[in-house]
């Protein structure tokens, strides 16, 4: 039985993927921000999927300390063999105004990128034991985006769309760099482009024009259940499929800028500093956190 961790698993794509993977026979560990929603999601899957094995953990992934705490709980659940077959970093959001996390980082950058970066680090040894997969929920929005190196957090001239596009480019760079640095680890990283989906992601932390646009725009999207098929495909294929970026269970074209090794390395090292960690070769080591690296 495969064990899969999914963040943002109480609604939308994450919930649909959790349910589909449970139906496929996987043990699912879901993470959600609300205890009430975690309980409701768990009950819904258990009632619809016979013999489903699901556990939900409540954590606000905008906080690095809560990411660390969630990782600790997951590692305990993975005993005794400690194997993790897949980590699906799906949690994400859109903010119409500039907000910061408890760690002082811009919210979209923190939730859409840093949370997955840190959780992957904390569960890396578990993933290696299983020759597992790391899967990110990306977006076509990464195309033509660039990292705003002069002000990564967009603290001076905040732009919702540019901050979101940057965070999705970060997903691409991180997956690409994981595959480059740890090619011999047995772990493979992928990014899923869900396309336009009928979910509430663009309306949860937004208001005004941004919220109104998303509500109208998303009505033309596909169902989360349709998108979930790609996650099941990437988890179940043996050996792992070739490619980095997938849409509708097939490799898709991505922005050539993603192949910029120097940029990917620079982002990786910045993310390590912001999270207070360091990947070293095939092992992982931590060091004191510093917020003065922007």
CA 79, 80, 83, 85 dihedral sign is: negative
The first and second tokens of residue 228, run together, are 């979930």
Q: Is 279 helix (H, G, I), strand (E, B) or coil?
A: strand
Helices (H), 198-292: 208-218, 224-236, 261-275
The answer to whether 147 and 100 have CB atoms below 8 angstroms apart is: no
Distance separating alpha carbons of residues 196 and 227, to the nearest angstrom: 10
Beta strands 53-58 and 86-89: pairing type?
unpaired
Q: Is 164 a catalytic residue?
A: yes
Catalytic residue among 164, 231, 245, 254: 164
Q: Is 231 helix (H, G, I), strand (E, B) or coil?
A: helix
Peptide bond into 239 cis (omega under 30): yes
The answer to whether 236 and 24 have CB atoms below 8 angstroms apart is: yes
Residue 120's nearest CA partner among 7, 8, 274 is: 7
* Sheet with strand 250-251: strands edge to edge: 53-58, 27-32, 3-7, 86-89, 133-137, 188-192, 245-247, 250-251
Distance separating alpha carbons of residues 228 and 172, to the nearest angstrom: 19
- The set of catalytic residues is 164
């Amino acid at each position: 039985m495969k064990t899969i961790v999914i963040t943002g698993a109480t609604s939308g794509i994450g919930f649909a993927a959790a349910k589909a993977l449970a139906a496929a026979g996987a043990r699912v560990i879901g993470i959600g921000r609300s205890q009430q929603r975690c309980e409701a999601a768990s009950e819904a899957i258990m009632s619809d999927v016979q013999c489903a094995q699901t556990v939900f953990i409540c954590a606000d992934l905008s906080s690095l300390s809560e990411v660390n705490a969630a990782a600790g709980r997951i590692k305990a659940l993975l005993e005794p063999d400690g194997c993790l077959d897949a980590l699906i970093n799906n949690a994400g959001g859109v903010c119409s105004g500039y907000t910061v996390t408890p760690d002082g980082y811009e919210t979209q950058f923190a939730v859409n990128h840093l949370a997955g970066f840190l959780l992957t680090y904390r569960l890396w040894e578990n993933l290696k034991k299983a020759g597992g997969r790391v899967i990110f929920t990306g977006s076509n929005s990464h195309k033509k985006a660039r990292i705003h190196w002069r002000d990564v957090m967009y603290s001076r001239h905040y732009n919702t769309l540019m901050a979101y596009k940057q965070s999705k480019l970060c997903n691409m760079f991180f997956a690409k760099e994981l595959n480059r640095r740890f090619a011999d680890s047995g772990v493979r990283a992928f990014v899923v482009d869900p396309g336009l989906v009928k979910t509430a992601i663009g309306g949860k932390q937004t208001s005004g024009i941004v919220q109104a646009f998303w509500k109208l725009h998303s009505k033309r999207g596909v169902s989360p259940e349709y998108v979930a098929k790609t996650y099941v495909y990437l988890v179940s294929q043996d050996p792992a499929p070739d490619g980095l970026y997938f849409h509708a269970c097939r490799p898709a074209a991505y922005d050539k800028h993603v192949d910029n090794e120097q940029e990917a390395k620079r982002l990786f090292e910045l993310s390590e500093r912001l999270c207070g960690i360091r990947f070293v070769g095939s092992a992982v080591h931590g060091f004191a956190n510093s917020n003065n690296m922007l």
